[in-house]
Every structure is written in C-alpha cells, then in structure tokens.
Copies of this chain bind each other. A is one copy, B any other.
C-alpha cells in the first residue's frame, strides 16, 4: 500500500491548455496548489484521523506557550469559534490543554502536553514527506524566496 496515487482530481492538467489572463492572478494559482496539497495532506494525515487545522494549531501553541484562543485564531487566520473547536479537539486527544489565565480570567492560556509534542514531531516528519516533491523542485534557495514573498503577500492582505 505504498502507492501514492490520488483519485480523479489529482490528474495533471493538459499541457496544451492556456491560462490566458487568469495567469496574471495570484489567487488562482494559490487555490489550485492548495487544493492539490491539501488532498495529499489529507491522504497522509487520514491515517492519523485528524482534520486539517489541527496540526497548524498545535504547532503554533507549541511555539507560543500560554497564548490565548483569540491569538491562535488570528495567527491561523480564522474565526475565534474555529479556535474553540480545534482546541476542543486537541484537548480531547490529550495533545494540548487549557489553563485559566492568571492575569486575565477571561482567557485560556494554551499549552501543549508531552504527548502533543511527541505527536507534533511525528507529524512534522510526515509532512516533510508530503512537501518533499515541492521542496525538491525548488531547492533551498527558491524555497526561502517563496516563503519570504508569501509572508509579504500575507501581510499585504491586511493593509486596508
């Protein structure tokens, strides 16, 4: 079962087709890549029985111990109600925990557990496999360039 085949949608586009003016838009490229990547992601993480946002959420909690749910939501770019559900899930699995903040009793301070850190390490390894083809095709340098540009793009999204 080491097969890496993906169902119908994972088929590459015909080389002859034109993008036309659509090719000028970042949004289009982003979406099609992200669709593809998240299908592969789902394949890998499917074995682990988890939903998309979970991994990112735990990784961010791990990198920022004690952060609040609102902060988490902002960092992943989703609504705070999403943070609630994700943290619920993480807690249920025993990978993260909420502690009432001592400074602001409205807040929950979020922390990873030991089991959470272990799982995180496992997932990082698995995800490197998912992104392997991408990393390969780009090389370290271009990857850095890409990430830097993407960060600028993300920041630019918030200049109203």
Which A residues form the contact surface with B (CB < 8 A)? 4-14, 17-38, 40-41, 52, 56, 59-60, 62-64, 67, 71, 73-80, 124, 127, 130-131, 133-134, 136-138, 142-143, 145-147, 149-160
Contact = CB atoms under 8 A, between A and B. Distances in A.
A27 B13 CA distance: 20
A94 to B, nearest CB: 20
Secondary structure type dominating chain A contacts? helix
A155 B36 CA distance: 10
A27 B158 contact: no
A160 B21 CA distance: 29
A31 B38 contact: yes
A137 B159 contact: yes
Nearest to A5: B160
Contact of A14 (B9, B17, B75): B75
B124 A152 contact: no
- Most-contacted residue by chain B among A8, A13, A14, A74 (CB, 10 A): A13
Contacts of A62: 20
Contacts of A31: 34, 38, 52, 56, 77
Contacts of A8: 79-80
Given A10-B158, A27-B34, A59-B20, A152 B131 contact: no
